[in-house]
Amino acid sequence: MDILFLLIPLSVALVFFILGALWWAVHRGQFEDIEAEGERILRND
Amino acid sequence: MTLVHSAQALPSLVPAPASSDERLSLLDDPQEWAQFSQPEGGQSGCWTSSVVFEGMHCAACAISIEDALRQVPGVKSVQVSAASHRGRIVWSSEQTRPSQWMQASAAAGYKALPANDAHAHERRRREARRMVWRVSVAGLCMMQVMMYATPAYVAEPGDMTPDMEHLLRWASWVLSLPVVLFSCKPFFAAAWNDLRQRRIGMDLPVAIGMLGTFVVSSLGTFEPEGPFGAEVYFDSLTMFVFFLLMGRWMELRMRDRTAGALEAVINRLPDSVRRRTAEGWERVSIRRLAVGDVVEVLPGEALPGDGTVVSGQTQVDEALLTGESRPLGRQSGDAVIAGSHNLSGRIEVRIEQVGTATRYAQIVALMESASAHKPAMAELADRLAKPFLIGVLLAATAAAIAWWPQGAGHAIMVAVAVLVVTCPCALSLATPAAMLATAGALARSGVLVRHLQALQSLSEVDTVVFDKTGTLTLESFSVAQLRHRPDLSEDEAWTLAERMAQDSLHPVSRAIAAQARERRRLRGLSDDVAPWPEGWQVSEHPGQGVSADAPAGQDGLNGRRSLRWGSARFCDAPPLTQERLQVSLADESGWLATFELEETLRPEAAAVVRALQQRGLAVQVLSGDAPAAVARVAQALGISDHRGACSPQDKLQALQALQQQGHRVAMVGDGLNDGPVLAGADVSFALGQALALTQSKADMVLMSGRLDLLEQTLERSRKTLRIVRQNLGWSLVYNASCVPLALMGWLPAWAAGLGMALSSLLVVLNALRLSSALPISSTPATAAA
C-alpha cells in the first residue's frame, strides 16, 4: 500500500493539470454558446 | 516605512481610478444622456436613466443600492429590481451628474452601467464566463475531495494507518484551497461588503458557514490531536459550495431567459449602421445617425430608426412592436419602424426619426419601467428578509452552543447547516421571477405591461368595463350620412370638419380626417388643408370635442370666429336620429352639420365578451355615444349592462360606484380620451397602434389592438398569481421544515447546500412555465380591416 503515498499526491497534481486545461477551455469561450454549435451543422451557410 | 511605501505606490495607482472616472465623466456630456435616459415629463431638468448593476446577488443588494443612491443630492427616486439587475433613477441635471450617482453606487459595491451601453453586454458575458469557471473548479475539486473522503467513511476503525489518514486529509486540504480562495470569492466579497457597510445580506450566513467549515477542517488537518481533530469536513464544504454555485449559475441562465424577452426588446437596435455618403458607404455608430440619412439594412439586421424604404424589397417582422406576428412585405415607398427586423432582402432606408423620437424608444422606456418596478408582494418579502437573516444568525449560534458538548467539530457543522439551509433567496425570487417571466411572454405577444403590480390587480378583477368607440368597434368608420344647415355647402362642411379633425387624436376624428382627404383627392381638389391662420387657439376637450377660436381683431374663416367639433351636446346639435354614432360641427351662431357614421364591431369582440362572461366576469359598456347606438352594440355582443351619453366624469363615477360595491374593475379603452377613467380603474387596458405610449395612462397596452389578447392576458395573470403563491408557499414550507431539521443535527451541510440551491431553482423553474408566448388564435388580424 506504500504506493498510495505516491499516487495520492500524483492525483492532486493531476487535478491541477485538468483544472489548467479547463481554464483554457472556459477562457477560450468553449462553453459560451453550447446550443448554437450543435445547430450550426443544420444551417446552410 | 509604510508612509514611504505608499507614497511610492501612488503614482502607479492613480491612473487606474482616474481612467474609470474619465469613463464615467464621459457620461456627463448631456449628448450622451439620451442613450440611457429620457427627460422626465413632469419636472424640468429631470431625467430618468436606466442602468444595469453589476455584483448584485439578492433582494438585499437592491435595497442597499437604493439606499446609497438616495443619499446623493439631486437623485429624486430610485427603483432597483433584484430579479433583472436593472434600475431606474430619476435625477435632476441641475444638482447632479450621472458620474456622481454612478460613483455612489460603485462605493456601495455595485458598479452601475448605462443600460443601453454596448459594453454592458460584454461585461455580462465576462461575468458569465467567470461563473462557469468558478462552478468548474468547485465541481472538479469536489469530486476529487470526495474520493479522498470515501476511505474515512468505509474503513473499519484501525483499517487505516494514521499516516494514511493524515495524507488523505492533506490532499483534501490542498484541493479545497482553490475552492475556498477562488470559487467562494463572490460569497466572501458580498459578505465583506455587507459587513463594511454595516448591514446584513443573504451571503453573510453562507460565507460564515464556508469559512467556519474550512477553519474547523484545517485545524483538524494540522492538529489531528486537537479539539477539532476527530473529523474533517472538506467533502461537505466542497459539495455545498458546488451546489450553491451551480444553483446560482442556473438561476443566472434562467433569469436571462425569463427576462430575455424584455432584453430582446431593449437591446434590439444595432450598435452601428452603414450610411450612404457622397463617396459610398461608411460605418457609423447608431448615435451619429441623423434624420435624412440613408442607411443600408441587410437581412437579419434590425432597423435603426423609423423611416421609408427608398430601394429594395423585403419582408419585416414587427411582432414586438405592433403585435403583428406575420411577416409584412415592404418595398420602396413603404414606412418601416425602428426595432423591427429585416427578414429577407437588402433594403435602403431613409431615416425620418431616430433615438427617443421613435415608437421603439417609447416601448423600451415603458418596458424598463416595468422591469424595475417592484410588485407589492416582492416588497413585503424583501422587508421580511432582514429580520429573518438576523434570526438565522442567532439560531445558528444557539445551535453551536447547544451541540458543543457533543464535540466541537460537530457543533460547528450543525451551525453551518443552519446558516446554509436558510438563505431566503427563494423567498425573494418568488414574486419577481414569475411576474417578469409573464411580462416577457406578454411582450412577445404584443401586450406591454407598464408595471408588474398590474398583473396582480388583473388577476383579481371581476368586472370588465369597455369603452365602445374604437374598443368594441373598429377604429375605422365611414360616413353614412351628412346633415347640414341649408346655408352651408357640403364641401365647406367637409373642409371645416377636416380642419378640426386633424388636430384631434380621437378615432372618429382620425377616420373623418382620412375620409376628407380621400374625398378631396378623388375630386382633384387641393393637396392639403391650409394651416390655421396665425393666432387661432385650438384645444381638445377630453370626452367632448375640439374647439378653435380666432384671436381678437381677426375676421376668422369665412366670417366664422369660433368653431366647435364633437359630441351633439358640445355643439348644440338638434336631435337627429340617435341610432348611429355621430359627430357634429358648430360655429358661434350654432349648429352647422352632423356626420353620421357607420361603425363595425371588431370581429373577435363577441367571442371575447362571451368568454369573459363564461369566466364569471361581469361585462359592462360605458360610452360617451348616444344611448341608442350604445344599446345596439351592447345587444349585438350580449352585454345587458350598458350606459350611453357618459362624460368622462360620469364614467369615473360609475367606476367608483362599482369599486365601492367591492368590485375589482378592469377598464378597456382606446387610451386617449379616457385617461382619468383608465387611471381610476384597478387595472386598465389601452388598445391601438397609434397610441402615444408615454402619454397613455393605461397599465397594459394591447399593441395589436386585438381584443382576444385581453382574455388571454387575464388568464395568464391568474396563472401568474397561482405560480407566485406556489412559489411563496414552497419557500415558506422549505424554510419552516429545514431549519428544525438542521437545528436537530439531522441535516448535513452538503444536504443543506443542495436544498438551498434546489429551492431557488425550483422557484425559477416554476416561473419559467409562464414564459411561453400566448396562444394566438387564428382570428384574422383586425388591423387589416
Residue B178: closest C-alpha in chain A: A16
pLDDT (tens digit per residue) in B281-335: 877 777 778 888 899 888 777 888 888 999 888 888 776 666 666 678 888 888 8
Position B173 in a domain: yes
List the beta bridge partners of residue B620: B465, B641
CATH number at residue B451: 3.40.50.1000
Shared-domain flag, residues B520 and B495: yes
Shared-domain flag, residues B314 and B425: no
Q: Quick check: A26 and B132 CB within 8 A?
A: yes
* B125, B140, B168 member nearest A15 (Cβ): B140
Shared-domain flag, residues B503 and B636: no
Position B253 in a domain: yes
Shared-domain flag, residues B388 and B293: no
Phi, psi torsion values for B516, nearest 5 degrees: -65, -40
Q: Quick check: A29 and B164 CB within 8 A?
A: no
Residue B358 to residue B38: CA distance in whole angstroms: 12
Torsion, Cα A28 A32 A33 A34, to 10 degrees, reads: 80
Position B628 in a domain: yes
Yes or no: say if B239 and B755 are a contact pair by the CB < 8 Å rule: no
Q: Report yes or no: B133 at the A interface, CB cutoff 8 Å.
A: yes
Confidence of residue B394 (pLDDT cuts 50, 70, 90): very high
pLDDT (tens digit per residue) in B68-82: 888 888 888 888 776
Residue B650 to residue B542: CA distance in whole angstroms: 13
Q: What is the DSSP string of B254-321?
A: HHHHHTHHHHHHHT-S-SEEEEE-SSSEEEEEGGG--TT-EEEE-TTPBP-SEEEEEEEEEEEE-HHH
B-chain residues near A18 (CB < 8 A): 140
Which residue segment(s) compose the domain that B280 sits in?
270-304+306-353
- State the pLDDT at residue B9: 33
Q: Report yes or no: A10 at the B interface, CB cutoff 8 Å.
A: no
Confidence of residue B493 (pLDDT cuts 50, 70, 90): confident
Q: Quick check: B167 and A8 CB within 8 A?
A: yes
Percent above pLDDT 90 for chain B: 13
List the beta bridge partners of residue B562: B549
| Separation of first and last alpha carbons in chain A | 59
* Degrees, nearest 5: CA angle B196-B65-B449: 155
Query: What residues of B are labeled active site?
Result: 467
Position B364 in a domain: no
B-chain residues near A4 (CB < 8 A): 164, 167
Shared-domain flag, residues B253 and B401: yes
For residue B50, how far is the Cα from the chain centroid?
11
Shared-domain flag, residues B93 and B207: no
ipTM score for this prediction: 0.85
B-chain residues near A31 (CB < 8 A): 129, 132
B213/A28: higher pLDDT: B213
Kindly list the strands in the beta sheet with B641-643, ordered across the sheet, starting from the edge strand earlier in the chain.
Answer: B447-449, B700-702, B683-687, B665-669, B463-466, B618-622, B641-643
List the grid coordinates of B699: 397599465
* B136, B140, B171 member nearest A8 (Cβ): B171
Shared-domain flag, residues B669 and B634: yes
Residues, chain A, total?
45
Residue B783 to residue B704: CA distance in whole angstroms: 7
| Last residue of one domain, picked from the residues B93, B115, B137 | B115
Confidence of residue B776 (pLDDT cuts 50, 70, 90): low
Chain B: closest CA distance from residue A41 (Å) = 19
* Degrees, nearest 5: CA angle B69-B57-B377: 80
pLDDT (tens digit per residue) in B151-202: 888 888 778 888 888 899 999 999 999 999 999 998 899 889 888 888 777 7
pLDDT (tens digit per residue) in B428-451: 778 888 888 888 888 777 788 888
Domain ranges of chain A: 4-40
List the grid coordinates of B773: 408566448
Yes or no: say if B477 and B511 are a contact pair by the CB < 8 Å rule: yes
Shared-domain flag, residues B276 and B382: no
Shared-domain flag, residues B153 and B231: yes
Q: Quick check: A22 and B137 CB within 8 A?
A: yes
CATH number at residue B537: 3.40.1110.10
Shared-domain flag, residues B226 and B200: yes
Yes or no: say if B310 and B332 are a contact pair by the CB < 8 Å rule: yes
Q: What is the DSSP string of B348-411?
A: EEEEEE-GGGSHHHHHHHHHHHHHHPPPHHHHHHHHHHHHHHHHHHHHHHHHHHHHGGG-HHHH
Q: Quick check: A39 pLDDT over 70?
A: no
* A5, A26, A32 member nearest B167 (Cβ): A5
Q: Quick check: B129 and A15 CB within 8 A?
A: no
* Degrees, nearest 5: CA angle A22-B125-B106: 115
Going by C-alpha positions, the residue among B54, B61, B55, B66 that lies closest to residue B115 is B54
Residue B41 to residue B291: CA distance in whole angstroms: 24
Position B196 in a domain: yes
- State the pLDDT at residue B137: 93
List the grid coordinates of B217: 477542517
Q: What is the mean pLDDT of chain B?
A: 80
pLDDT (tens digit per residue) in B42-61: 667 888 887 878 777 666 77
Confidence of residue A37 (pLDDT cuts 50, 70, 90): low
Q: Report yes or no: B126 at the A interface, CB cutoff 8 Å.
A: no
Confidence of residue B372 (pLDDT cuts 50, 70, 90): low
Shared-domain flag, residues B479 and B515: yes
Q: Which residues of B311-326 are buried (b: 16+ CB within 10 A; e: fewer)?
A: ebebbbbbbbbbbbee
Shared-domain flag, residues B595 and B605: no
| Structural domains in chain B (count) | 5
Q: Which helix (H) or strand (E) holds B585?
A: strand B581-587
Yes or no: say if B33 and B101 are a contact pair by the CB < 8 Å rule: no
| Separation of first and last alpha carbons in chain B | 84
How many A×B Cβ pairs under 8 Å? Answer: 44
Residue B132: closest C-alpha in chain A: A26
What residues of chain B, 164 to 203, have a C-beta less than 8 Å from chain A?
164, 167-168, 171, 174-175, 178
List the grid coordinates of B627: 344611448
Chain B: closest CA distance from residue A13 (Å) = 10
